[in-house]
Structure 1
Amino acid sequence: MEKKIAAVAMSGGVDSSLTAALLLEQGYEVLGITMLLTEEGRSETVDVAAGEEPDSVRDARKVADALGIRHYVADFRQEFQKNVIDYFLNEYARGRTPNPCVMCNPSMKFGLLLDKARELGADFLATGHYARVSQLADGSYVIRKGLDEHKDQSYALHRLPRSILKHILLPLGDMTKEHVRELAEKIDLPVAHKAESQEICFVPHDDYKAFLRKHKPECLHKGNIVNDAGDVLGRHEGVPLYTIGQRKGLGIAAPEPLYVHKLDMKRKEVVVGSNKQVYAQGLLASGANWVSIDEFKEGMEFGAKIRYGKREAQAKLSMQDDGLLRVEFAEPQRAVTPGQFVVFYDGDILVGGAMIERTL
């Protein structure tokens, strides 16, 4: 019987590296593909534009050589700029808080990279996400939460089209991060002890404010920090440098703690108030994508997350005449943030999600 071919999205980290090793062990023919995405990276020490190889490519190639598999580099810098970085900058320029990983997955990793994998003859694309793909009794496929609730990454996969799930392999979904490290050490992977990457892959030193100042300075206008009555409490260097729920770094003295609860780009104002004002009973969202249901039905109730890592809250869903999804929570939720995503679950099954537009 001919071996099935699995292409692994190899980032040079321990998760994707172990993914490749596990699939080899399971009998797949494995090849690795590393995406070249940006001129900059977390450290800014590599000049990609001058032809230098970033750590991700170099480390992935080391692992591929150690495993004896083919390794390819896919240059998606232009597409990544358009689909992810420009989106990231433009959302901040609107006074919103973007989530680039959510946008990257359907357009890049499970879009262009999946196409590249098929071009290379692969039957499947595998990644190191901590989530699971499983087949239901009716033959359809769903995404489930990863068993390690602290690492579960299903939230970031809610915009994937249902049609591609049968081509996706997620071997780490049943594991904890600790187990992954142990296995990587056991088989002596070159990156077994590599530090885990955090935050946003294209923002040097994870400093999004410096990134905005460099790439979108025209969106940063000085203005006032005000309360709901319009009283000026302080000054700011640009509305996009703040986020809903923020308390630290406001630079204002007050008898009670104050939190950002509204960003107003038109008036160039950061609006602050009490902690109670940061809570919302519901939200309106756009661009809903349903991963595990065939059609939307009024009044459906699911567990809802308003950001990655946030605990779920029960929510009732309805569709407004203007096409926006109305989400009403059983209990008020803190720091509902426009530009982020509300994601729905039925038990451990990922139902879908939508982009938050505003609070109710």
Structure 2
Amino acid sequence: MLKEFEIEPLLKDKTPHQTKAVVAMSGGVDSSVAAALLHNLGYQVIGVTLQLYGTDGNANARKGACCAGQDIYDAKRVAESVGFPHYILNYEEIFKKEVIEDFASTYMRGETPIPCVRCNQTVKFRDLLQVIKNLGADVLVTGHYVRRLEKNGEVKLCRSIDKSKDQSYFLFATTQEQLKLLRFPLGGFYKSDIRKLAKYFSLQISEKPDSQDICFVSESYSKTIAKLAPQSVQKGKIVDVNGKVLGEHSGIVNFTVGQRKGLGIAHNEPLYVIKINTENNEVIVGPINVLMQKKILIKELNWLEQPKEGMEVTVKLRSSHAGSLATIHSTDEKNKACVILNDDYFGISPGQACVAYKDEQVIGGGWICS
């Protein structure tokens, strides 16, 4: 059966038996299959699982999350049954600072955060890549559904074959230096293939559901943020785009840009959240046309391939976005760029990522300012 699931060699100048691969194991099906597949192909596999939260009792893992107590146990079980070493690393303090606190502070700036990108950018890649160096390993392997293509010394990050599972949007902040050491063996397969492999390897987690949403959010987003930032539940005003007071809100934590339902005010036309003014603790609402825009300013740029002025690309403005045609332009501000969409787009949210693609290849992107 394994002949149906051929992958590119992890290293071109070493055989599998000569290659030491650290596999980041979340306890889910994907990373477990990646580890088992490489082990069966003869690679020197070392499993590593990060303890990110929960041991202090302040975070209750939600069902369907990853990196929780049960997931660590599952990863350990897989390693033992397949037959490779496995280590658990406590990264709670780093995760709290880099991801959880950033999640709360982003909301308190009136933005909509994507903690999964921050986690990949810092904890999983930046810090784990240092771990593989300490272990004397050659590569870091993950179960992400993306493809890494290398040609003439250049490394490209591309969408997964399985578009329904593609995770390239969440990896836009990956650097060229990191890509040189990263490997994504599942990018050329469909999720159904991975389930088949899990059963073939007799992994106990073959039927385990996929992780959903944000791993450390055990309740609703608003309740989680309220615990992290109590000021987010202070009462304030709901105003229209002209500053007219329309009502009162019970905390900015309950609102996101583009929201229509649950505003708690009556009006003669549908109103949407246009902006969250955290300085004045105000929620600004307006008609749908105010939320339609073509021009986007992005910051903290990460280009895997430097775009030319006016380069035509397809951009994704949220993970579920199918993509919009656009052009990329430079600005006078350092580490910022302007993206001009061909057509108006509804509800562009500061704090989300704008990721640019050239066909299947990830060019790079940045965080939406406005």
Q: TM-score, normalised by structure 2?
A: 0.90
Q: CA deviation at 1:119?
A: 1.5
Aligned counterpart for 2:330 among listed residues 315, 319, 343: 319
Are 2:62 and 1:43 equivalent residues in the alignment? yes
Q: CA deviation at 1:296?
A: 4.3
Are 2:313 and 1:302 equivalent residues in the alignment? yes
Quick check: 217-226 or 326-335, which moved more? 217-226
Q: Deviations over 1:26-52 (max 9, x none)?
A: 3211110000111324339xxx9xxxx
Q: CA deviation at 1:110?
A: 1.0
Contact 1:286 1:354 in 2 (8 A): yes
- What secondary structure sits across from 2:215 in the alignment? coil
Q: CA deviation at 1:55?
A: 1.1
- Ranges in structure 1 where 5+ consecutive residues have no aligned partner: none
Aligned counterpart for 1:128 among listed residues 139, 143, 148: 143
Name the residue aligned to 1:280: 293
Q: How does 1:1-360 map to 2 (within 5 A)?
A: 2-39=17-54, 40-43=59-62, 54-136=69-151, 138-205=152-219, 207-291=220-304, 293=305, 295-323=306-334, 324-358=336-370
| One-letter code aligned to 1:305 | K
- CA distance in structure 1 between the aligned counterparts of 2:95 and 2:227, rounded to whole angstroms: 18
Contact 1:22 1:171 in 2 (8 A): no
| One-letter code aligned to 1:88 | F
- CA distance in structure 2 between the aligned counterparts of 1:192 and 1:80, rounded to whole angstroms: 28
Quick check: 144-153 or 221-230, which moved more? 221-230
- What secondary structure sits across from 2:369 in the alignment? strand
Contact 1:132 1:174 in 2 (8 A): yes
- Ranges in structure 2 where 5+ consecutive residues have no aligned partner: 1-14
| One-letter code aligned to 2:62 | S
- What secondary structure sits across from 2:45 in the alignment? strand
| One-letter code aligned to 1:306 | L
Q: Deviations over 1:200-219 (max 9, x none)?
A: 111113x2211111121023
Structure 1 pair 257–186 and aligned structure 2 pair: CA distance change class (3 A): farther
Q: CA deviation at 1:220?
A: 3.1
Q: TM-score, normalised by structure 1?
A: 0.92
How many residues matched?
A: 348
Contact 1:41 1:201 in 2 (8 A): no
- CA distance in structure 2 between the aligned counterparts of 1:79 and 1:169, rounded to whole angstroms: 24
Contact 1:244 1:335 in 2 (8 A): yes
Contact 2:35 2:45 in 1 (8 A): yes
Structure 1 pair 176–68 and aligned structure 2 pair: CA distance change class (3 A): same
Contact 1:96 1:240 in 2 (8 A): no
Q: CA deviation at 1:234?
A: 2.5
Contact 2:114 2:351 in 1 (8 A): yes
Please report the RMSD computed on the Cα atoms of aligned residues, expressed in angstroms. 1.8
Q: CA deviation at 1:175?
A: 1.6
Give the % identical residues. Answer: 39
- CA distance in structure 2 between the aligned counterparts of 1:276 and 1:243, rounded to whole angstroms: 17
| One-letter code aligned to 1:281 | K
- What secondary structure sits across from 1:103 in the alignment? helix
Q: Deviations over 1:45-65 (max 9, x none)?
A: xxx9xxxx8112111001111
Q: CA deviation at 1:122?
A: 1.6
Contact 1:147 1:176 in 2 (8 A): yes
- CA distance in structure 2 between the aligned counterparts of 1:106 and 1:249, rounded to whole angstroms: 34
